[in-house]
Structure 1
Amino acid sequence: MTTTNTMQTRTSAKAHKMSPPRYQSITSDRMGIVTLPENAGSVRVIAGEYQGAKGPAQTFTKIDVFDVRLNARGRVEFTFPARHNLGLLVMKGDIAINGTHAAAHDLAVFENAGERLFIEAESEAHLLVLSGEPIDEPIVQYGPFVMNSAQEIQQAFADFASGKFGHLDD
């Protein structure tokens, strides 16, 4: 389920990676919610926006995180920018994604997914829909650290060892 449509407009995450960490209290009562027509179900918006409902999560790059619950035969349509990557996790039930079957525990991944995604529930379903603009930067991961180069990983370990990440008082 991939396409090859590409665009070069990207958001820079590198500029924000050394920002101070912060906690976000994202509770159900703060999430935007859209009740779908014809008793199809609902979409809770954790990040991004869907049909005017906005999620409370603050992000450095453009992402959407939707908690979707569909009743049997319920339908929902999403429109994403063509350059976004998309992941759809089926947590419960059976669905059709643009006519292709997916079942519980399936993860559909789309690169440059295009603008429209049609989902129809074959049975009661619970989905997690994740969409984001590619950051188009090198990624190096080691242990708990994710950086852009091996040198930055080494610096992160040195900073951690020297206490620059802070400490917890006894």
Structure 2
Amino acid sequence: MKLFKSIISSVSHPMGPFSVNRVMPQQEITPVGAFVFLDHFDISATPEQIPKPDGKLAHPHRGIATLTYLLKGEVTHLDSYGHKGTVDSGGVQWMKAGNGIVHDEWAKPINNKLIGLQFWLNLNAKGKSESPAYKALSNEQLPVVNIGKLGSTLKVIIGKYKNYRSDIPVESRQLLFHLSLKSGDEIQLPLNKSDQYATFLASGSIEVTGEELQPSQQGFLRNGIKKISILAKENSELFIFGGEKYEEPIVSGGPFVMNSEQEMATAYKEYQLGKYRTIDYSII
């Protein structure tokens, strides 16, 4: 039996003056644990080509937590609750949108490159009703574990691996690991057979229990998997994510993910009424 129940390739999606690779959702939402969204960006630009923040790209969120992880570059976050933070390569920004927030992000390429991923995690009903929150962790603040025999590493962005735990808050048993794999290395990774998982290959070439995964492809693992074997055919950057199945109803609409159509209508109405507050750009 094949390990992956499906493998999808990302599609180009406009994002301001640039394009990103939209991994999920595509035709419809296919949750992986609490994860409902993934964009992969690999942008070539000079600092002068990145627009200065002026509010035009500011946008709301509600009902989710966003997580931006950088492989290369620098990103600054600003939101309507007064949170401000900057992380660079290897760092992560987490924002709990809760009951409604407006945020803006702008980037500074390093050596004319900006590479990273943005995930959305669906909050439960309680989390959707709570106030927004924000947390930023640098590369040095995320646990890194040596795996394999050739120098490969596993970084814990969300969740726990053995005795290593990330400080990014989660509502349930969820994980997000960044595996930086050296060519020829082979590792075994244990999983919880009752959880849902997917893999995303940002770069390189790998085999997962004998099945190939190419760059910008996401593989949805079959249910009941207790362990996977990963072989790096070249230096590769792999992400594994997922966790406990999200059991509540899911209604998605633009930047909001709610539990009912009525909640979705309320989310839009309260945004239009200004209840998510506004960003103070004077603190930049």
Preserved CA contact (<8 Å) 1:93 1:126: yes
Alignment identity in percent? Answer: 22
Q: For 2:280 and 2:200, locate their aligned partners in 1 and report how far apart those are by CA, in whole Å.
A: 39
Q: For 1:80 and 1:56, locate their aligned partners in 2 and report how far apart those are by CA, in whole Å.
A: 20
Please report how far the alpha carbon of residue 74 of structure 1 lies from its aligned counterpart in structure 2 after TM superposition: 0.8
State the match for 1:18 in structure 2: 129
* Number of residue pairs aligned between Structure 1 and Structure 2: 163
Q: Does 1:86 align with 2:182?
A: no
Give per-residue Cα distances to partners, 1:112-161, cap 9 Å, x unaligned.
25211111111111101112211122111112111011100011112112
Please report how far the alpha carbon of residue 15 of structure 1 lies from its aligned counterpart in structure 2 after TM superposition: 2.4
Preserved CA contact (<8 Å) 1:85 1:110: yes
Give the counterpart letter for 1:93 in structure 2. G
Which deviates more from structure 2 when the two are superposed, residues 91-100 or residues 159-168? 159-168
State the match for 2:219 in structure 1: 108
Preserved CA contact (<8 Å) 2:201 2:215: yes
State the match for 2:5 in structure 1: 2
Preserved CA contact (<8 Å) 1:2 1:113: no
Preserved CA contact (<8 Å) 2:148 2:187: no
Preserved CA contact (<8 Å) 1:33 1:45: yes
Q: Greater share of strand residues, 1 or 2?
A: 2
Q: How does 1:25-104 map to 2 (within 5 A)?
A: 25-104=136-215
> What are the ranges of 5 or more consecutive residues in structure 1 without an aligned counterpart?
4-9
Q: For 2:187 and 2:240, locate their aligned partners in 1 and report how far apart those are by CA, in whole Å.
A: 12
Local SS of the residue matching 1:39: coil
Please report how far the alpha carbon of residue 111 of structure 1 lies from its aligned counterpart in structure 2 after TM superposition: 4.5
The two structures have a TM-score, normalised by structure 1, of: 0.87
RMSD after superposition? 2.1
Give per-residue Cα distances to partners, 1:71-112, cap 9 Å, x unaligned.
111122222211211111111111111111112222111252
> What are the ranges of 5 or more consecutive residues in structure 2 without an aligned counterpart?
7-33, 35-122
The two structures have a TM-score, normalised by structure 2, of: 0.54
Q: For 1:48 and 1:77, locate their aligned partners in 2 and report how far apart those are by CA, in whole Å.
A: 18
Q: For 1:45 and 1:128, locate their aligned partners in 2 and report how far apart those are by CA, in whole Å.
A: 10
Q: Does 1:159 align with 2:265?
A: no
Give per-residue Cα distances to partners, 1:34-84, cap 9 Å, x unaligned.
012422400011111113221121111221111101111112222221121
Residues 111 and 135 of structure 1: CA distance in aligned 2, closer, same or farther (over 3 Å): farther
